[in-house]
């Protein structure tokens, strides 16, 4: 009796352990630069997923001259980019402002648990 209970318990624990898929935390950085030109107020936005090639969005995002292209759509506003990532389940992890050579950059760090 004890042996059969032990085998049943061991089988159940093994099934639960192997049945769960491993999750990992991924991060995305969104950088925004604001400026004033003779044509008026302008902003540029970039998305950074890192360079390792291990990110779930590798090959899906391109940055060109302050515009972000994701899934064939072009984004020029940080609000549009934040809305896109929010719809995909990303949450803001932190924000910060950095000044480089009299230029202000605003950073949003987003994170998501992925499988």
What's the mean per-residue pLDDT of the chain? 84
Q: What pLDDT is attached to residue 12? A: 52
- Residue 108 contacts residue 95 (beta carbons within 8 Å): yes
Which of 44, 74, 52 has the alpha carbon at shortest distance from 61? 74
**Model confidence pLDDT, tens digit, residues 54-112:** 888 888 898 998 899 998 899 999 999 999 999 999 999 999 998 888 888 999 999 99
How far apart, in whole angstroms, are the C-alpha atoms of residue 43 and residue 86?
20
Buried b (16+ CB within 10 A) or exposed e, 65-92: eeebebeeeebeebeebbebbeeeebee
């Amino acid at each position: 009796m004890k042996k059969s209970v032990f085998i049943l318990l061991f089988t159940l624990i093994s099934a639960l352990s192997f049945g769960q898929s491993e999750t990992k935390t991924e991060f995305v950085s969104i950088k925004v630069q604001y400026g004033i030109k003779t044509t008026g107020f302008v902003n540029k936005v970039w998305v950074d997923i890192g360079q390792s090639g291990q990110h779930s969005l590798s090959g899906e995002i391109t940055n060109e001259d302050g515009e972000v292209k994701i899934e064939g759509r072009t984004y020029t506003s940080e609000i549009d980019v934040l809305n896109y990532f929010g719809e995909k389940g990303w949450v803001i992890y932190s924000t910060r402002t950095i000044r480089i050579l009299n230029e202000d950059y605003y950073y949003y760090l987003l994170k998501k648990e992925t499988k």
